[in-house]
Amino acid sequence: MKRREFVRTAGGATAAVAATTAATGTVAAEDRPDFEGYLDGVDGGFADLRGQDEVEVSVGAEGNGGNLAFEPAGIWIDEGTTVVWEWTGQGGAHNVVTDEENTDFENTHDLESDTVDEEGFTYESTLEDPGRTGYVCTPHRGVNMFGAIAVGDDVPVVEEGPDDGWPEDVGQWGVPIHAHWVGIATMFGIVLTFVFTFYMLKYGESAHTGHGGSR
């Protein structure tokens, strides 16, 4: 490769690396309803489902040590949205009942389904009033089969900022990439590129070509 071609290539690579750093260095902040720790340690995830007239939650999804989860466990919906809980038929008999024992907030909605293990069974409720509601599968309360709903925009929220540290669970180390290390590695690559470019400009394509440049 000629030196001018190399310089153009190196310059393009450096710009690409810098652009990648800018793209991966931060994570956009996101607001979520504040369920005051009710879903801590609960599998099933969270979904912002505002803008939909009807949403579905699986009952008996994989999680909590078996098919013992609501999925998504936490949802955020608009006022007047109909929530349909659909049973997977896995994990034994389940139900959906407003949890008056463990929530640190006042529940807005009364939920109470039958306890069944039938695949395809559904329970639905149209939630008109704004607020928060925690619910539970009573047969599996002991394994954290909990769910929670936030209705409307006028609910307490917590701001989810950038991930600025390693996961608390050591078993997850290496899955996310720490933003600081990404930046350090990228800067090292940029500096190394400039050093190599300087060497090529000064000594040519290899150490055996001398100072006369490429042949």
Rounded Cα–Cα distance for residues 15 and 13 (Å):
5
Its pTM surpasses 0.75: no
Are 45 and 147 in a shared domain? yes
Rounded Cα–Cα distance for residues 210 and 8 (Å):
22
Rounded Cα–Cα distance for residues 109 and 126 (Å):
10
Q: Is residue 142 part of a domain?
A: yes
Per-residue exposure over 166-183, b if at least 16 CB sit within 10 Å of its own CB, e if not: eeeeeeeeeeeeebeeee
Structure tokens at 117: 């293990």
| 107 Cβ contact list (under 8 Å, min separation 6) | 98, 99, 100, 131, 132, 133, 134
Rounded Cα–Cα distance for residues 191 and 110 (Å):
62
State the pLDDT at residue 191: 85
State the pLDDT at residue 70: 98
Q: Is residue 84 part of a domain?
A: yes
Ordered per-residue pLDDT tens for the chain, 215 residues: 444 444 444 445 444 444 444 443 333 346 899 999 999 999 999 999 999 999 999 999 999 999 999 999 999 999 999 999 999 999 999 999 999 999 999 999 999 999 999 999 999 999 999 999 999 999 999 999 999 999 999 999 997 655 444 444 444 445 445 556 677 888 888 888 888 787 777 776 555 555 444 44
Are 128 and 181 in a shared domain? no
- Determine the distance from the C-alpha atom of residue 90 to the mean position of all C-alpha atoms in its chain, rounded to a whole number: 25
State the pLDDT at residue 197: 80
Rounded Cα–Cα distance for residues 77 and 6 (Å):
55
Of the chain, the end-to-end C-alpha distance in Å amounts to 10
Choose among 41, 44, 46: nearest CA to 31: 46
Are 61 and 89 in a shared domain? yes
Are 37 and 85 in a shared domain? yes
State the pLDDT at residue 29: 42
Are 90 and 107 in a shared domain? yes
State the pLDDT at residue 24: 37
* CATH code at position 50: 2.60.40.420
Q: Which range marks the domain in which residue 138 is found?
A: 30-159
State the pLDDT at residue 201: 77
State the pLDDT at residue 188: 83
Number of domains in the chain: 2
Q: Is residue 65 part of a domain?
A: yes
Are 9 and 93 in a shared domain? no
State the pLDDT at residue 185: 80
Q: Is residue 215 part of a domain?
A: no
Measured CA distances, 39 to 36, 93, 107 (Å) = 8, 21, 14
Are 78 and 122 in a shared domain? yes
Are 143 and 59 in a shared domain? yes
Rounded Cα–Cα distance for residues 33 and 132 (Å):
9
**Beta strand 157-160 with 74-77: parallel, antiparallel or unpaired?**
unpaired
Are 46 and 110 in a shared domain? yes
Are 40 and 140 in a shared domain? yes
State the pLDDT at residue 205: 59
State the pLDDT at residue 122: 98
Q: Is residue 23 part of a domain?
A: yes
Measured CA distances, 95 to 67, 138, 212 (Å) = 13, 7, 82
Q: Is residue 208 part of a domain?
A: no
Are 64 and 148 in a shared domain? yes
State the pLDDT at residue 22: 41
Helix, coil or strand: residue 123: strand
Are 128 and 180 in a shared domain? no
Q: Is residue 214 part of a domain?
A: no
Structure tokens at 116: 């069944």
Q: Is residue 95 part of a domain?
A: yes
